A and B are shown apart, each in its own frame.
Chain A
Amino acid sequence: MTISILHRDDLPLGGFAGLKEHRLVTDPKLFGEYAATGAWSGLGRFVYLADARFNPKGETHMHDHKEIDVISVIVKGRIAHEGTLEHGQGLAANDVQVQRAGGEGFSHNEINPDDTKNRMIQIWVLPEKKGELSGYKVYKPGPGLTRVYGGAVGQSDTFAAKTVVEVAHLSVGENVAVKVLSWPI
């Protein structure tokens, strides 16, 4: 088993609006020459991973996404979600929000409603087919492994895709394994 490791705290701290973040994956497929210094490429159609902490009451401000699937994992604190998909949705620690922009796109604002910093991981995956309808799903992963993105066409538990995102909650001594069967898609 050959493993490479990228340490978040070895990367520069950036950010915008009301948050600070480390960008660990900025794939050239999406970012081209603007890929972040030291960041890795992704896998399959996974092109972006940022580990963000919102300032108290910090927000991204309203912004648009198109032709991208946006997966947000709330690690600590809360996020108040505003926008064209599920306006008013509240997210708490351990919740996962998945938004498909599709061809119609969406606008949203992510807000830390609290007086303390929170933490959110955001992942972007390029869609396999352009022009899809926008869509929205929320997951509350429990113990063990929960798939939150990707899977076969025809099921409705997750947005179908060959790139898969899963969240594992492990207790001491528990194992989880991931086997990469193919790389480029």
Chain B
Amino acid sequence: MAYMTVGRAKAGELEVRDGDLLRGEDLELRALEDAQVILIHTL
């Protein structure tokens, strides 16, 4: 899971932004502007 707290990013074909909580088994985010993201996963 990932929670965007600052900025915007691209997750696959989706644009996500501050305030979006994402759930997916393989998340990859590319920042569209300076961004802060909290990542939560399991080992």
The reply to whether chain A is a binding partner of chain B is: yes
List residues of A whose CB falls within 8 A of some B CB. Answer: 1-9, 22, 24-25, 40, 42-44, 46, 49, 51, 73, 75, 94, 121, 123, 145, 150-151, 162-183, 185
Whole-angstrom distance between the Cβ of A70 and the nearest chain B Cβ: 14
Whole-angstrom distance between the Cβ of A66 and the nearest chain B Cβ: 22
Bitwise interface map of B from 1 to 41 toward A, beta carbon under 8 Å scored 1, else 0: 11101110101101010011111111111111111111111
Cα A174 to Cα B34 in complex, Å, equals: 9
Q: Count how many pairs of residues, one from A and one from B, have CB atoms less than 8 Å apart in the complex.
A: 155
Which single member of A24, A75, A163 contacts B21 (CB below 8 Å)? A24
Residue of B nearest to A179 (CB): B26
Chain B interface mostly: strand
Cα A177 to Cα B14 in complex, Å, equals: 15
A123 CB contacts on chain B under 8 angstroms = 38, 40
Cα A181 to Cα B31 in complex, Å, equals: 24
B9 CB contacts on chain A under 8 angstroms = 170
Chain A interface mostly: strand
Whole-angstrom distance between the Cβ of B42 and the nearest chain A Cβ: 4
Whole-angstrom distance between the Cβ of A71 and the nearest chain B Cβ: 9
Cα A180 to Cα B41 in complex, Å, equals: 6
Whole-angstrom distance between the Cβ of A84 and the nearest chain B Cβ: 26
Q: Is the CB of A170 within 8 A of B35?
A: yes
B2 CB contacts on chain A under 8 angstroms = 178
Cα A1 to Cα B10 in complex, Å, equals: 12
Whole-angstrom distance between the Cβ of A147 and the nearest chain B Cβ: 9
Cα A154 to Cα B5 in complex, Å, equals: 31
Q: Is the CB of A180 within 8 A of B25?
A: yes
A177 CB contacts on chain B under 8 angstroms = 26-29
Cα A111 to Cα B42 in complex, Å, equals: 31
Residue of A nearest to B19 (CB): A8
Cα A158 to Cα B35 in complex, Å, equals: 23
Cα A11 to Cα B38 in complex, Å, equals: 19
A181 CB contacts on chain B under 8 angstroms = 41-43
Q: Is the CB of B42 within 8 A of A162?
A: yes
B30 CB contacts on chain A under 8 angstroms = 173-175
Cα A40 to Cα B23 in complex, Å, equals: 10
